[in-house]
């Protein structure tokens, strides 16, 4: 649960500092695409972004820019938040399982040691009577 809250907080922080713009696709390859966009001052910028693209049309795509105006990866989405929650829940359950298994092993060792100690005490009591 805490991980989901942290991921949602990270998403809001990302959206507060990064901005999304529509860029013109200049050249698209298998892994990257070259794009151009207009910055806040009205100057045309260019850069490379990873594919697949978030298409607006055949020649335009949405891209995210970091605070310096450089292309950046997009924010995490709902799927990543749910996956993060499930992964953290699985990790916590496995950690709890290991801890309980370790405690059970300690309990068994303590019971075995106590039983052997009792048998040893009784043996010495029987041998002492002879």
Measured distance CA(115)–CA(40) in Å, rounded: 79
Residue 112 within a domain: no
Whether the pLDDT of residue 129 is over 90: the answer is no
Residue 52 within a domain: yes
Give this prediction's pTM: 0.55
Q: Three-state SS for 92? A: helix
Number of domains observed in the structure of the chain: 1
> Mean of the per-residue pLDDT values for the chain?
87
- 42's CB contacts (< 8 A; 6+ apart) are none
Residue 43 within a domain: yes
In terms of residue numbers, what domain contains 26? 19-72
Residue 104 within a domain: no
Q: Tell me what pLDDT residue 81 has.
A: 82
Residue 121 within a domain: no
Residue 60 within a domain: yes
For 13-72, write each residue's pLDDT tens digit.
888 888 889 999 998 888 889 999 988 888 999 999 988 888 888 889 999 898 888 898
Q: Tell me what pLDDT residue 130 has.
A: 59
Residue 100 within a domain: no
- Alpha helices per DSSP H over the chain: 2-17, 78-129
Residue 84 within a domain: no
Record the tokens describing residue 70, joined without a space.
């450089």
């Amino acid at each position: 649960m805490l991980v989901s809250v942290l991921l949602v907080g990270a998403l809001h922080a990302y959206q507060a500092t990064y901005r999304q713009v529509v860029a013109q696709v200049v050249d698209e390859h298998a892994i990257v695409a070259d794009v151009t966009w207009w910055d806040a001052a009205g100057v045309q910028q260019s850069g490379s972004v990873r594919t697949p693209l978030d298409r607006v049309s055949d020649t335009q795509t949405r891209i995210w820019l970091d605070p310096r105006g450089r292309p950046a990866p997009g924010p995490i989405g709902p799927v990543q938040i749910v996956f993060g929650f499930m992964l953290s829940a699985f990790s916590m359950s496995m950690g709890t399982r290991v801890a309980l298994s370790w405690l059970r092993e300690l309990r068994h060792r303590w019971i075995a040691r106590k039983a052997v100690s009792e048998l040893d005490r009784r043996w010495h009591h029987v041998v002492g009577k002879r």
